[in-house]
Amino acid sequence: MWSLTFPVLVLLSGFGLLRDAQAAPMPQELICVPDVVDRTYDLIAITDMDKDAGGSPSDWTWRAVKRKGQLTISGDGEKIAVNWDPSADQNVTTHLNVKGRAMELSDLALFNGHLISPDDKTGMIYQIEGQKAIPWVFLNSGPGNTTNGMKAEWMALKDGQLYVGGHGTEYRAKDGSIVSTDSMWIKIVSADGAVQHKDWTKNYEKIRDAAGFPAPGYLTHEAVQWSKVHHRWFFIPRRHSKKIYDEEADERRGSNKIISADENFDDFYTIDIGALKDRKRGFSAFAFIPGTCDELALGIKSVEFKGTTESYITAFDLMGNIYLEDQRLQGNLKFEGLYIVKK
């Protein structure tokens, strides 16, 4: 075990994380001590099955599938393995729905002692207790004065509060005109469920400009985390394009970008995660691996292509080096939430 004081030129050299890449900027006087022993963590993943989340019409039940797995990581961080147990899959159910749609769960986080997940169709944040989805907080779309539920796509914990965001891009008509900017707003939720509505339009615009995709190009965000170690935001878009949104073309616009921003969204850097091989796959969730000083992460990639769905797990570092190549999760389920159970 050793301590690391930032900034340093080569971080976590025992992990071999940087591999001749320039280190990302780090805050001053921050000490992080990585774990250097082989260890295993439990994993939980949850689905957004869109229209397939509907159960029997007779009992008005909607479901998401919760799957358990294990992550094994070596002490030097060089060897990472993930195994899932589909035989133990559980249906997490609710009767709450909007126009016959529900339980399209898009992320997972542990907040205030509860495992929570947002439904991007109803706008409800659920507490996941076994196979029960217990309604906790309702989020409405945009500035908070709308009657529609928020299409929540990501959650991040920062300073004891829960940040919840959507795709972070304007919704446009086929002629390119802007139909809605609701997804440019985020919500900040306190531990007791109080909700603030924040306009992140300028932040989202800065992110896509920094990555090289100015409007009418776009990024769609489903995988976002705040790192208290680096004191920075990390965005891994599901899609990127320099062209205007097109529903069919969007299925082949998967991204491999990491865009990092400081707390004030004034300083940015962008890194590619490996090579962009299959653009049907795009990141729908990621989580930092405990004990790695927020340098190693697991990510879920989702595929929605011509009516079919697939999911993959991968591991990488913040310099874009890959430690686990895309590994498919069994079945044709679209997983969009990932939680690593800390010991």
* C-alpha pair distances (Å), 98 with each of 54, 56, 123, 124, 141: 12, 16, 9, 11, 14
- 203 phi and psi, to 5 degrees? -65, -50
Euclidean distance between CA atoms 216 and 243, whole angstroms: 6
Place of tokens 């039940």: 61
222 in a labelled binding site:
yes
Cβ atoms of 314 and 258 closer than 8 Å: no
Tell me: cis bond preceding 237? Omega within 30 of 0 counts.
no
Cβ atoms of 25 and 73 closer than 8 Å: no
* pLDDT tens for the 343 residues of the chain, in order: 323 333 333 344 344 443 333 344 544 447 899 999 999 999 999 999 877 777 666 788 999 999 999 999 999 999 999 999 999 999 999 999 999 899 999 999 999 999 999 999 999 999 999 999 999 999 999 999 999 999 999 999 999 999 999 999 999 988 889 999 999 999 999 999 999 999 999 999 999 999 999 999 999 999 999 999 999 999 999 999 999 999 999 999 999 999 999 999 999 999 999 999 999 999 999 999 999 999 999 999 999 999 999 999 999 999 999 999 999 999 999 999 999 999 7
321 CB-near residues (< 8 Å, 6+ apart): 17, 19, 21, 274
Provide the pLDDT for residue 57.
Answer: 65
Cβ atoms of 171 and 148 closer than 8 Å: no
* C-alpha pair distances (Å), 266 with each of 93, 182, 218, 229: 42, 23, 19, 18
Provide the pLDDT for residue 16.
Answer: 43
- 312 phi and psi, to 5 degrees? -135, 150
13 in a labelled binding site:
no
Q: What six digits make up the tokens of 101?
A: 């749609």
Provide the pLDDT for residue 55.
Answer: 66
Domain 37-341, CATH class in plain words: mainly beta
Euclidean distance between CA atoms 273 and 225, whole angstroms: 16
Provide the pLDDT for residue 56.
Answer: 65
Provide the pLDDT for residue 10.
Answer: 32
- Cross-strand bridge partners of residue 235: 224, 259
153 in a labelled binding site:
yes
To 5 degrees, how large is the angle CA 317–CA 224–CA 65?
100
336 in a labelled binding site:
yes
H-run or E-run covering 326: strand 322-328
Specify the pTM.
0.92
DSSP three-state, residue 53: helix
205 in a labelled binding site:
no
106 in a labelled binding site:
yes
Could you say which DSSP state residue 248 is in? H
